[in-house]
Structure 1
Amino acid sequence: MQAQAKPYPEAGAVDADWAVRRMAATELDTARGMFFLGVLETVRTGVGEEAVAACRAVTDERRFVGFFNYPVATFLKLAQVAARQLSPRWGGVDEALRQMGMQATRSFLESAVGRTFLLLAAGDPRKLVTNLPSGYQMAVSYGERTVDWKGEGDALFVMRRDFMPPAYHEGVLREVLAMVGTRNPRVQGRKLGLLDTEYHITWEVPASLPTEPPRPSRWRVFQ
């Protein structure tokens, strides 16, 4: 069932937020082409080719290559227009960004590096979350990321100097947890500053079955 469309919220404030994020980026801040392609694919499947053309029009690139690096400022322009195009389809900008984040994860995990990242997790959500900082290092050139464990199936993932809004990474993180069969994963972002966000990641940890004590041997041992 299609989500009910909502008006693009506070367009002026939202556009200003995107603009400030772009101004904070330097030419050394880059992201892989696969994420650009992921945004375009999300728009194509959600809205159609006409919307894809509108997104491409805001970039100077004729095409994107999956593992090439491109300026994150260009990615921000693309994501901003894509979010506006997808907002009516998904009932708001935040959900549109989550959908783009989910596709970003799928695009990354389809690559050779992404498959290796998934292989290292060995189906274990804790290993996967522990390896998230190194996974992001493979994908983008900027930012610092740390994991702080609060308990089993409960962690804070902190991103500093990351340019995308929190909802985008909520989608990224939920999807990557789902890829290893995590039970009921939840991700909640909380802004710490313009480019700093912490993500509270939780999931259901399967109850471990109690182990039976060893049964006494029927055989008597004579010494």
Structure 2
Amino acid sequence: MTQRSPSAASLSQAMETEYARRIALATPTDTARGLFFNGVLSAVITFGGEPALKQCHARLNDKRFERRFIDFSSYPVSDFLRLSLAASQILTSQLGSPETTQRRLGMQATRDFLSSMAGRTVLLLSGDSPKRLLDKIPNAYRSAVSYGERTVTMMGDKAARVVFTRDFMLPHYNEGVLSAVLESVNARNPRVHSRAIGPMDSEYELAWD
């Protein structure tokens, strides 16, 4: 078996530590829709097959994760973080790095939301305009999760800054979310770069051609 380099192991440990910190900060009123749970489980099967799903269930050791979640019911975000961490631990070997794994999970979550009735409505109202779709991010998040705030500032015709405050997901996960948002309206060559600006706050610079 090929062993990961020390740097990769360090990155994985940092990811696990960050997830644990955020799980500890979650309150009972912090929730996310079931479709995001289902998306993580679907991603595990897509990238790792049924054996990976069984590993994920074994790591969680919780029967609640062995059933399908109701898409638009709300569940504790602490459970979503536990599931995302387990999926990341299982999938990192297939996807290459913790950062790549987080981005792929974020992209999957966005695609699942945009394929729902609520998401299709958002896309219909946005047309093919990245600006119109980005403007809808704050309200879309309010319909999907109970926590945090998101603000969008256009920085030109093909650039924007998005700020997440009191957000439980890791910045690389949100990079995947925002990349999938841009791809959904066929933005050319989308680019997303993140930086942490607080314990649960992060800023994202978006650009496209």
Q: For residue 124 of structure 1, what is the aligned residue in structure 2?
A: 129
Q: Report the Cα offset of residue 10 of structure 1.
A: 4.5
Pick the aligned partner of 2:190 from 175, 182, 185: 185
Larger radius of gyration: 1
Q: Which moved more, 1:95-104 or 1:48-57?
A: 48-57
Q: Does the Cα contact within 8 Å between 1:8 and 1:84 map onto a contact in 2?
A: no
Q: For residue 198 of structure 1, what is the aligned residue in structure 2?
A: 203
Residue 105 and residue 17 in structure 1: after superposition, are their counterparts in 2 closer, same or farther (change >3 A)? Answer: same
Number of aligned residue pairs: 201
Q: For residue 175 of structure 2, what is the aligned residue in structure 1?
A: 170
Residue 195 and residue 104 in structure 1: after superposition, are their counterparts in 2 closer, same or farther (change >3 A)? Answer: same
Q: Any idea what SS the aligned residue of 2:138 has?
A: helix
Q: Report the Cα offset of residue 56 of structure 1.
A: 3.1
Q: Is residue 2:34 matched to residue 1:33?
A: yes
Q: Which moved more, 1:61-70 or 1:150-159?
A: 61-70
Q: Could you tell me the percent identity over the aligned residues?
A: 45
Q: Does the Cα contact within 8 Å between 2:194 and 2:203 map onto a contact in 1?
A: yes
Q: Over aligned residues, Cα RMSD in angstroms? A: 1.7
One-letter identity of the residue aligned with 1:35:
F
Distance, in Å, in 2 between the alignment partners of 1:145 and 1:52 is 32
With the length of structure 1 as denominator, give the TM-score of the two structures: 0.85
Q: Report the Cα offset of residue 13 of structure 1.
A: 3.5
Q: Does the Cα contact within 8 Å between 2:131 and 2:154 map onto a contact in 1?
A: no
Q: For residue 110 of structure 1, what is the aligned residue in structure 2?
A: 115
Q: Any idea what SS the aligned residue of 1:77 has?
A: helix
Distance, in Å, in 2 between the alignment partners of 1:60 and 1:198 is 36
Q: Any idea what SS the aligned residue of 1:150 has?
A: strand
Q: Does the Cα contact within 8 Å between 2:114 and 2:123 map onto a contact in 1?
A: yes
Q: For residue 218 of structure 1, what is the aligned residue in structure 2?
A: none
Q: For residue 103 of structure 2, what is the aligned residue in structure 1?
A: 98
Q: Is residue 2:155 matched to residue 1:150?
A: yes
With the length of structure 2 as denominator, give the TM-score of the two structures: 0.90
User: Unpaired runs of 5+ in structure 1?
Assistant: 205-223
Residue 108 and residue 193 in structure 1: after superposition, are their counterparts in 2 closer, same or farther (change >3 A)? Answer: same
Q: For residue 50 of structure 2, what is the aligned residue in structure 1?
A: 49
One-letter identity of the residue aligned with 2:44:
V
Q: Any idea what SS the aligned residue of 2:189 has?
A: strand
User: Unpaired runs of 5+ in structure 2?
Assistant: none
Post-superposition Cα deviations, 1:76-105, rounded to whole Å, max 9, x if no partner, equal 111111111111111101100111111111
Q: Report the Cα offset of residue 60 of structure 1.
A: 4.8
